[in-house]
Structure 1
């Protein structure tokens, strides 16, 4: 009864017990075998990780040059951009320290940036102002060409401190990025706004003691008015309207 009450159950229990006993008797042998397998797998991993590290390093140098070249088009001519790739030292790897070993390799990668001459590159989060950060992110995305049609990206203050040809260059970069993913851009520059596929006017009003912000889709006539307003201010002239129509037409 203790082992099932039937001959078949007893025999099954016997077989299971024999297997368990065999595993106990061969435990040390199996343990050493698994250690060898683990060591071989780790060596294979490190070989692949080193190859990935070398390829990343070469790709990073190319990417740095491309980004710095493209930054010139958005009024960041003196900017420096670095991709710093950190790898564990040989002592850590030999010691069996596995904290840095992941499915994507053993590297830790961080972007460093400096917008001005004489400034040492620092981690992006510590150095870039709002406008600089937006323009850098725009260049990173268009240079990497890693767009995803199911994702959206928002740029705010991307036009701070720029105008004229530079603003137009930023607008063209935004339009390039918009071919692969949805781009939302808050701007006060006519050169940038005119290149958009769809326009929304954001308005703020105070009702009583509350401030309300709203956004509405603009029709074709309203688009012309708002682009003209960006060009001339509150007093919109017919010349400004004509220029706005030309800008919108050229963007199509």
Structure 2
């Protein structure tokens, strides 16, 4: 089965595995760190972006895509950076149509819809005992002014030319640890140096942290190494492919 391609603003580039994230300097992403029960919202919101778009094409058909979602809470530099990895079928099942092929949908729509749905779902799920709701509403207004094109979506060109390639992608991102040992380039007893590829310019750079800061960052993600609850799986089991949700 093929996987959905999404065109960028020029209409010339296509992707098959969108990564939906929150912009680097956006204060909203730290709400997930303060209350990690909110992390399931990332799964739900990412799936709704696709569902709403599919419904807008033909409401009677209400097309359903197959999808696999994975969630990482860490960035390459070990900073807090919750984001989802999504795989989508290149076609969908409708109420009356057994199968309809979809080649692409607008990249700009994906970014703006992701931002709108995610912020709306965060707001509706926030615990007023933990958060200042009015403060978050004010933040939402600022975000819409700051991010006119919506939240960050990484759109690499990935060619899944075989079932094995798809399986490798899924296992790579669902089973991926926050830090692979191979990325650690130096340890002098007091500091740890590791390498990573920076998203902004794809350059390979190095970072050095004290041992305690390094361990502290790793421990930040340890309690997210779990399989999402059956409740979350049930929530989206209308999908063509039985969905898989993993937090890492």
TM range (shorter): under 0.3
Larger radius of gyration: 1
Larger helix fraction of residues: 1
Larger strand fraction of residues: 2
